[in-house]
Amino acid sequence: MRTYAGHSSAKESNALFRGNLAKGQTGLSVAFDLPTQMGYDADHVLARGEVGRVGVPVGHLGDMRALFDGIPLVQSNTSMTINATAMWLLALYQVAAEEQGADVAMLTGTTQNDIIKEYLARGTYVFPPGPSVRLTTDVIAYTVNCMPKWNPINVCSYHLQEAGATPVQEIAYALCTAMTVLDAVRDSGQIPPERMSEVVGRISFFVNAGVRFVEEMCKMRAFARLWDTVTRERYGIDDPARRRFRYGVQVNSLGLTEAQPENNVQRIVLEMLAVTLSRDARARAVQLPAWNEALGLPRPWDQQWSLRIQQVLAYESDLLEYGDLFDGSAVVQAKTGELLAGAEAEIAAVAGMGVETRNSIPSLAQIIDTATLFGIALAIGILGLSVGLVRSEAARDLRTLSATGAGGSTRRTITATTAGALAFTGAVVGIVGGYLAAIGFFRGSQLDGLSSLTSIPVTNLLLILVGMPVLATGLGWLLAGRDPAGIGRQPLE
């Protein structure tokens, strides 16, 4: 039983943790602020306005000590929602535990450590996809060898749902992520083949539970069945305990409303029941948001209410004393089968793309990079237009005519305004050409071998051949627009 918590400073978050534990909370779930998630110190210029805002700032060992001061980590089950910087935060946590005298091999908890979903849904990645997946696999290999009770990755479908994924997509893409990571660990050589069952047994998931009760409950059942199939058939795991679909849940915070927030209590309870009533697919850990989170940072009393909801279900009701309540339900069986079939088809579609997942990720990153380049080019174009206007000798009375020859005939010339517009157009045309060329290159080459043109398919080469001349034309126009006075002396008939 957890509440997702962390705010302001390590000292204040520590007081919140200790208060929640005193009220019967059985585990900790740490929310880190955005600078910590992105690897920035609290005093970095880019961290301004975000320090302690959506979680606790942790930038060094002193912060980690303060965060868990007076909390015996060897007795605590700590979930850390951290991805790009998971390796560093886990190292700080381990050292803090060692300073308390804890045996590292006895530490229990979870690092989310799912970088792939950051490219798909959230955006808090720090490194390129290839090195990021390597960091994920290194953490897994380290914990299996040195921290065997730790869950090194929480494959996260929660944010996929918040980003708009359907239940079918949520199942399929989460399992694709899990398979990508497991394949990377297996192929890294850090874990001998006979110990892969230990790796699979430590994989956990973090799932979103929405308000559509039947659909969400059936989604968990489909998740469990498909994960059992994947681990048995793809990785040869015979031990049913290590094939178990182990997952934790945060019910859907995005669905909480500011209007009439008291109604969020019903939503939270219904979403919690969806992941606890079905014994065959029951969550191992549940964390509930506060009823008023849509309005602001919850008070300790608000978090206590969320904790009490879980305690009433676990300790006062009889819902957990029976077998699966939905076995034999035609409705549940049909809906679970529908989701299962859809997820299998979606996974097959991903596999049928003909590209390894780790090598298809750069195209997503490249789209982001292209958007950045487009912004830069747009700024250059606007700058060119501004320079053209500033360099005009008479901004109030731009002359478009110049007299030449004895007969006084007139010929139109390119003015500063036209030159600036030419620069702007050149930048736009250039980025279109650059985009075509970049897409052709990056989609046709591999992440670790971008220098090999021989690996690029013909269609991608055509994109490059079209894109490069367009890029050159755009750059030519951009350079031409830099000197409106010089171009202005060139007459146009």
Tell me, yes or no, whether 390 and 318 share the same domain.
no
In whole angstroms, give the CA distance from residue 161 to residue 212.
13
**Closest residue by Cα to residue 28 from 1, 55, 61, 64:** 1
Tell me which residue range forms the domain holding 173: 4-351
Which residue would you say has higher pLDDT here, 481 or 340? 340
338 and 373 part of one domain: no
How far is Cα 410 from Cα 430, in angstroms, rounded to an integer? 33
Same domain for 130 and 224 = yes
Q: Are residues 277 and 322 in the same domain?
A: yes
Based on the domain organization, do 301 and 364 belong to the same domain?
A: no
- What pLDDT digit, counting tens, does each position of 25-55 carry? 888 889 899 999 999 999 999 989 999 888 9
461 and 476 in a common domain: yes
| Rounded Cα–Cα distance for residues 377 and 366 (Å) | 16
What is the percent of the chain with per-residue pLDDT over 70, rounded to a whole number? Answer: 71
Q: What is the mean pLDDT of the chain?
A: 79
Residues 190 and 267 in one domain: yes
The answer on 337 and 216 residing in a single domain is yes
**Residues 432, 319 within the same domain:** no
For residues 431 and 374, the answer to whether their CB atoms sit within 8 Å is yes
Residues 324 and 459 occupy one common structural domain: no
In the chain, % of residues over pLDDT 90: 43
Domain boundary among 290, 317, 351: 351
Q: Alpha carbon of 270 to those of 3, 218, 252, 273, 274: distances in Å?
A: 17, 14, 11, 5, 7
Query: Which of 208, 198, 282, 207 shows the shortest CA–CA distance to 243?
Result: 198
**Among candidate residues 303, 325, 351, the one where a domain is terminated:** 351
Does 175 share its domain with 123? yes
**Count of the separate structural domains present in the chain:** 2
Interval 292-334: pLDDT, tens: 888 877 888 888 898 899 899 989 999 888 888 899 999 999 9
For 165, the token pair is: 């994924």
Tell me how far apart the alpha carbons of residues 116 and 358 are, in angstroms, rounded to a whole number.
9
Which CATH number covers residue 272? 3.20.20.240
DSSP 410: E
Instruction: Give per-residue pLDDT as tens, 436-489.
Output: 556 555 544 333 333 333 444 555 555 556 656 666 666 665 565 544 444 444
- Looking at the fold, whether 244 and 372 belong to one and the same domain comes out as no
Which residue, 351, 382, 399, sits at the end of a domain? 351
